[in-house]
Amino acid sequence: MSTPTTQSAPHLIRGKMISPFKAVLKASLISASLSFGVGAATVETGPSADIAPTAPPITRSKGLLPLEDLRTFTKVYDHIRRGYVKEVDDSKLLEYAIKGILSELDPHSSYLDASSFDDLQMHTTGEFGGLGMEVGMEDGFIKVVSPIDDTPADKAGIEAGDVILKLDDKPVKGMSLSEAINEMRGPKGSSINITVGRDGKDGPIDLVLTRDTIKVKSVRSRVIEEDFAYIRIAQFQLSTGEDMVNSVQNLLDDNPGIKGLVLDLRNNPGGVLQASVGVVDAFLEEGLIVYTEGRAPNSQVRFSASEGDISNGLPLVVLINDGSASASEIVAGALQDHKRAVIMGTDSFGKGSVQTVIPISDERAIKLTTALYFTPSGRSIQAKGIEPDILVERARVTALRPRSRVTEADLSGHLDNVKGEKESKSADRIAQQEKESKAIFNRDNQLFEALTLLKGLHIFAQRPTMKKQSTLAQATQLEPETNVDDGDLTQ
């Protein structure tokens, strides 16, 4: 499945594309071997050789492409060029060959034509046209990695894991990923019918989406329940790290009584590697954040935190799910390894590779997997994901309607509260619970659990104060009176 990926910043490589493919083919018929280096390819010609089927076998050397394989390729190329039902020019066949090579490497390496290259650049800046969902290829179908917040896909109810079966009654089976994406694009205001399959549903779901210009705001923040900050990162763009720092700083300046933070990375498909480093750095005083390992010398990179925690050590809970991929997993993994945050939710997607965008002309580039990344403790997330510290499945929680039991406040002649606190009658409790049924835990149980944990951590942090009060009571040698609890009178 091809998903939006974590990538390093594009290399500024502007070499000439090796376009005269026929010359390469001619050289291969003489005798050729290709030796590949970083960012370059050279052709070494040798003495003339016969290409008859009885030619002696070629000894395979590491890093060299055998002549026999080149012969096979040229034969296939020639058959397609001369015998395919429709004439296809050489440049188009060469482009197909490049696409084929990259698509067979792994699900995240790909060839970017002019349109795809522009789309990638727009994704990193946060503005592009379409429906607003990250998609990938799986078993010939287009699968939704995650819908983007506040987009047509999100508003229509598209969910992570949905499989797109049809686009305007055209079966998706057999389409390439780029073809399907092109079908989903269109002018703002135009509509498209999408049929999706979803686990747990008996049949396909038909949806009508209206295309729009997608402007993704990567960071959103607000204060919830008065004392806690909520930060949502939808995807990692070039400016995400800086945007998050500014958002958190503004919240803390306006609300100095903040007791804890929730960082929501659910359904965040990833993005720019450096942006994830910036987010982690904001909460760590020091230490390794992530490191990468690859074959090329420039793929061995380590990122470490600089001094300063913008939250001054406030308790932090990070929410993840199976739509949290790549850069999201870097953040969750680093904060988990440093014991700086409690990770809550479900297992993440498991994309532990880094893609580098390498321009090969002014309008084309390749996105190539060049490294694997590892958390500070050396964990590889590839095909495994981040396991949360506390597993919380997404569910709809409904409060049980309380029985109309009599409380002390309902009893005739009961004593008033000596502190003048408001009394709690059974009718008041029922009304309060009905009000709470519309609260956070009914809309988002995972966020509710994160807030509950933060409240518990805050209460636990008050223990030194309680200890001082206990010491004071012992010093004054107060002897407690013997209390009698009536208990349940209906025995």
Residue 126: its pLDDT value, please? 67
The answer to whether residue 327 is domain-embedded is yes
pLDDT of residue 400: 64
Which CATH number fits the domain that encloses residue 200?
A: 2.30.42.10
Task: State both tokens at 442.
Answer: 């009914």
The verdict on 245 and 387 lying in the same domain is yes
Domain tally, the chain: 2
* Contact (CB, 8 A) for 317 and 453: yes
Q: Is the pLDDT of residue 208 over 90?
A: yes
Coil, helix or strand at residue 373: strand
* Residue 78 annotated as catalytic: no
Q: What pLDDT score was predicted for residue 124?
A: 74
Helical H segments across 282-347, by residue range: 327-337
CA distance 16 to 362: 9
Between 21 and 47, residue with greater pLDDT: 21
For residues 380 and 244, membership in a common domain is answered with yes
Instruction: Please give the pLDDT value at position 175.
Output: 87
Task: Report if residue 17 sits inside a domain.
Answer: no
186 and 237 in a single domain? The answer is no
For the segment 106-141, what is each residue's pLDDT rounded down to a tens digit?
Answer: 999 999 988 777 777 766 776 667 898 878 877 777
pLDDT exceeds cutoff 70 at 158: yes
- The pLDDT confidence band at residue 367, using thresholds 50, 70 and 90, is very high
Which is more confidently placed, 398 or 151? 151
Q: For residue 484, what pLDDT is reported? A: 42
Residue 449 located in a structural domain: no
240 and 207 inside one domain: no
Q: How far is CA 132 from CA 52, 108, 395, 397, 427, in A?
A: 54, 19, 24, 29, 46
Full domain range(s) for residue 210: 129-215
What distances in angstroms separate CA 293 from CA 229, 236, 258, 276, 477, one per listed residue? 35, 21, 39, 17, 65
User: What is the distance between the alpha carbons of residues 386 and 45, in angstroms, rounded to a whole number?
Assistant: 49
The active-site residue out of 110, 276, 326, 353 is: 326
Domain with residue 346: its CATH number is 3.90.226.10
* 326 noted as active-site residue: yes
The verdict on residue 199 lying in a domain is yes
In terms of domains, do 152 and 295 share one? no
Instruction: Pick the last residue of a domain from 391, 406, 436.
Output: 391
Which of 351, 353, 367, 444 is catalytic? The answer is 351
Q: What is the mean pLDDT of residues 277-288?
A: 98
Contact 221, 229 (CB under 8 A): yes
* Active site (annotated) includes residue 155: no
Q: Residue 182: which pLDDT band, with cuts at 50, 70 and 90?
A: confident
C-alpha closest to that of 164 among 156, 175, 172: 172
Say yes or no: 196 and 281 in one domain: no
Closest CA to 181 of 118, 229, 254: 118
From 43-57, 269-283, 338-352, the region with the lowest mean pLDDT: 43-57
**Residue 279 sits in the same domain as residue 299:** yes
Q: What angle do CA 284, 287, 290 make, to 5 degrees?
A: 95
Q: What residue type is 365 in one-letter code?
A: A
Within a domain: 47: no
Shared-domain flag, residues 255 and 379: yes
User: Domain boundary residue among 160, 192, 215?
Assistant: 215
Same domain, 168 and 271: no
| 393 pLDDT higher than 90 | yes
pTM more than 0.85: no
Length of the chain, in residues: 491
Q: Tell how strand 260-264 and strand 228-233 pair up.
A: parallel
The sign of the torsion formed by the CA atoms of 180, 181, 186, 190 equals positive
Residue 267 lies in a domain: yes
Query: What percentage of the chain exceeds 90 in pLDDT?
Result: 52
Angle value at C-alpha 121, between 109 and 8, nearest 5 degrees: 55
- Tell me, what's the pLDDT at 297? 87
Say if residue 242 is in the same domain as residue 385: yes
Residue corresponding to tokens 């104060």? 465
User: Are residues 376 and 242 both part of a single domain?
Assistant: yes
**Annotated active-site residue in 113, 227, 309, 337:** 337
Tell me which of 127-131, 269-273, 458-462 is least confident: 127-131
In a domain, 231, yes or no: yes
Q: Note whether residue 249 is domain-resident.
A: yes
Asked if 210 and 224 sit in the same domain, the reply is: no
pLDDT higher at 266 or 468: 266
